[in-house]
Structure 1
Amino acid sequence: MNKLLAFMTLATAVLSNITNAGALSVQVYNPGEQAVFPVTSTLISGEKEAILIDAQFDVHNGQKLAGLIKASGKVLTTIFISGGDPDFYFGLEPVLAAYPQARVVASQHVVDHIVKTKDAKLAYWGPILADAAPQTLTVPKVMTSNQLTLEGENIEIKAMNTPSAFIWIPSLKTALGGVAIHSGLHVWMADSQTPAARAQWLSTLNGLLALQPERVVPGHFHGEEPEGASAVQFTRDYILRFEAELATAHTSADLIKTMTQAYAQLPADDGLTISAKVATGEMSW
């Protein structure tokens, strides 16, 4: 009975509402405050097979993710890694142990980033994650096509090979945000260090809104999954405010203060501090 209650509690905590239209359905796993980063993994399921988008930051959550995939009863054929930072792929190990036949793929941009940074990232995060750290890292194979196919349904990678790429499922009118979309927490700006990079990001978000999505799942979110496309609007407004405040900030402390005041409802985190220091030239990233 205790095990059953524990499983039901876990399922309620991490499995969001299911979008189902026609042949495909979407399930979202986000461990929230139970993890270092509230990063999202999404299982896209057909009648018999499934594709996983992103694999969590640690092997403990990777194991829970593997359990949820098993509970779906689907055959996992593909794991697509949408971002090159470790919170998108450090949890691969237990998923691949459960589904060794699944191919792991990513864009050239993401693969290049993983190859360049994986050893240093593991050296840094390994001691912090302790027994939740991966023992081995898998580098995805490069995928040159900008779409995946699941049981005859297309799944598109929009803005592929850019830092703001996202996944679009036309049949569900659903976008999976990856690195590009946040909700309920300060937006990670440290990887978009120039006005041109931030302008490209904004262009991608505007393009996403033009698709008129019915559901947008942020790559990182704190609290409940936001409704509709509100996460896109939140992220876009945050970038614009950050750009405006950066133009008048003399130091990172100035920028942190004004952004904290502007978004007083958001929890404090190191992401804003790092982003501000990088943007003002006080820190290399």
Structure 2
Amino acid sequence: MQLLDRRTFMALSAATAATTLAGPARAANGRADIFTADLWGAAVDSAIIVGEESAVLIDAQLTVPNANRLADVIAATGKTLETICITHVHPDHHLGLAAIMDRFPDAKPVAHPLIQSQLSAAARWMLSTMSQGAEPGTFADRVVVPAPMTSNTIILEGERIEVLEPMHGDTDLLTAVHIPALDTLIASDFLYSDTHQWMAENTTPERLARWRASLDQLEAIGAGTIVPGHEGPGAVRDSSIFGTTRAYIDQWEAGLAETSNAEDLKASMLSGNEEKALEWVLDSSVAAVYPS
């Protein structure tokens, strides 16, 4: 499996602050607060599901500074962080877990067993590759491997948090999280809003078809609030993200068929997407097709 390359992150500059782009999803006895990383942290979304006394975290960020800011947001809720669920193997959703555990050592990190196996196998790679040449303090000095889940349901104060079976998204095995009480789907990297999408692991029609099939299954859930894996400045959190994500996949597939070099493929993908954040993600995707 091709993982995110540390060099793509090192090409960015630490610029914008972490943001919450929209109000939290709420239920009578809880809510979901969304923390969005700065561009240096790849604009990753983490969700804090907040109950009356306890909380659950979905995804743990990439860099230590963003993980620390996320930890500050969790602490500000005044709730006890019980569980941390990691949705997939990409380090931008996982590598910050060590910093989160430093702040909340009693929390239990977990992942679906198939995801946990991948995280365990990738731990040494993450530690050696991501930290190589990085400024001190950018990345954690260790990798925390979550425990395998024994059930696909996390219970927070009597409410179900459903960790869906892994499907194909921007990588082979990816879990989404459905919170029925909040009418919310934490879609992770099945969906992107106002950023370029990671297409480096989807360069054949068969794999793109599998991603579309996953989107069909997730859309059928009918959740009112949809939280993507990455958000840009113009991001939204509703079902329209399914359409914009599909449109990007369609444009990528057309570009693969109609171009024959990296320059033309990138140009075809920038058309209509000039304002999307994370252009380096597009560069990495193009490089997977046309290595330099």
Q: TM-score range by the shorter chain?
A: 0.7 to 0.9
1:7 alignment partner in structure 2: none
Query: SS at the partner of 1:132?
Result: coil
Quote the Cα distance in structure 1 between the aligned partners of 2:99 and 2:174: 27
1:165 matched to 2:171? The reply is no
Q: In 2 relative to 1, CA 36–282 (structure 1 residues): closer, same or farther, beyond 3 Å? A: same
**Mapped contact 1:156–1:167 kept (Cα < 8 A):** yes
**Mapped contact 2:61–2:95 kept (Cα < 8 A):** yes
Quote the Cα distance in structure 2 between the aligned partners of 1:79 and 1:48: 16
Query: SS at the partner of 2:251?
Result: helix
The one of 242, 245, 256 equivalent to 2:255 is: 245
The one of 233, 255, 259 equivalent to 2:269 is: 259
**Mapped contact 2:42–2:278 kept (Cα < 8 A):** no
1:54 alignment partner in structure 2: 59
User: What TM-score do the two structures reach when normalised by structure 2?
Assistant: 0.85
1:18 alignment partner in structure 2: 24
The one of 78, 90, 108 equivalent to 1:85 is: 90
2:232 alignment partner in structure 1: 222
1:233 alignment partner in structure 2: 243
2:11 alignment partner in structure 1: none
Quote the Cα distance in structure 1 between the aligned partners of 2:277 and 2:234: 14
Paired residues for 1:26-41 under 5 Å: 26-33=32-39, 35-41=40-46
Quote the Cα distance in structure 1 between the aligned partners of 2:66 and 2:252: 32
**Mapped contact 2:88–2:174 kept (Cα < 8 A):** no
Q: In 2 relative to 1, CA 283–121 (structure 1 residues): closer, same or farther, beyond 3 Å? A: farther
| TM superposition shift of 1:173 | 1.6
| TM superposition shift of 1:224 | 4.5
RMSD: 2.3
**Mapped contact 1:146–1:160 kept (Cα < 8 A):** no
Q: Which runs of 5+ in 2 are unaligned?
A: 1-15
1:137 alignment partner in structure 2: 143
Quote the Cα distance in structure 1 between the aligned partners of 2:274 and 2:222: 29
**Mapped contact 1:114–1:139 kept (Cα < 8 A):** yes
Letter aligned with residue 147 of structure 1: T
| TM superposition shift of 1:54 | 0.6
Map Cα deviations across residues 141-196 of structure 1 (whole Å, 9 max, x no partner). 11242222211111112342643431111122211121211111111011234322
Query: SS at the partner of 1:165?
Result: coil
2:72 alignment partner in structure 1: 67
The one of 263, 287, 290 equivalent to 1:282 is: 290
1:177 matched to 2:183? The reply is no
Letter aligned with residue 26 of structure 1: A
**Mapped contact 2:202–2:208 kept (Cα < 8 A):** yes
**Mapped contact 2:252–2:269 kept (Cα < 8 A):** yes
Q: In 2 relative to 1, CA 64–36 (structure 1 residues): closer, same or farther, beyond 3 Å? A: closer
Quote the Cα distance in structure 2 between the aligned partners of 1:26 and 1:261: 34
User: What TM-score do the two structures reach when normalised by structure 1?
Assistant: 0.87
Query: SS at the partner of 1:43?
Result: strand
**Mapped contact 2:57–2:81 kept (Cα < 8 A):** yes
**Mapped contact 1:15–1:27 kept (Cα < 8 A):** no
The one of 203, 206, 214 equivalent to 1:204 is: 214
**Mapped contact 1:16–1:225 kept (Cα < 8 A):** no
**Mapped contact 2:17–2:37 kept (Cα < 8 A):** no
Moved more, 259-268 or 209-218: 259-268
Percent identity over paired residues: 30
2:4 alignment partner in structure 1: none
**Mapped contact 1:32–1:223 kept (Cα < 8 A):** no
Q: In 2 relative to 1, CA 273–18 (structure 1 residues): closer, same or farther, beyond 3 Å? A: same
Q: In 2 relative to 1, CA 190–24 (structure 1 residues): closer, same or farther, beyond 3 Å? A: same
| TM superposition shift of 1:211 | 2.1
| TM superposition shift of 1:94 | 2.6
Quote the Cα distance in structure 2 between the aligned partners of 1:150 and 1:25: 11
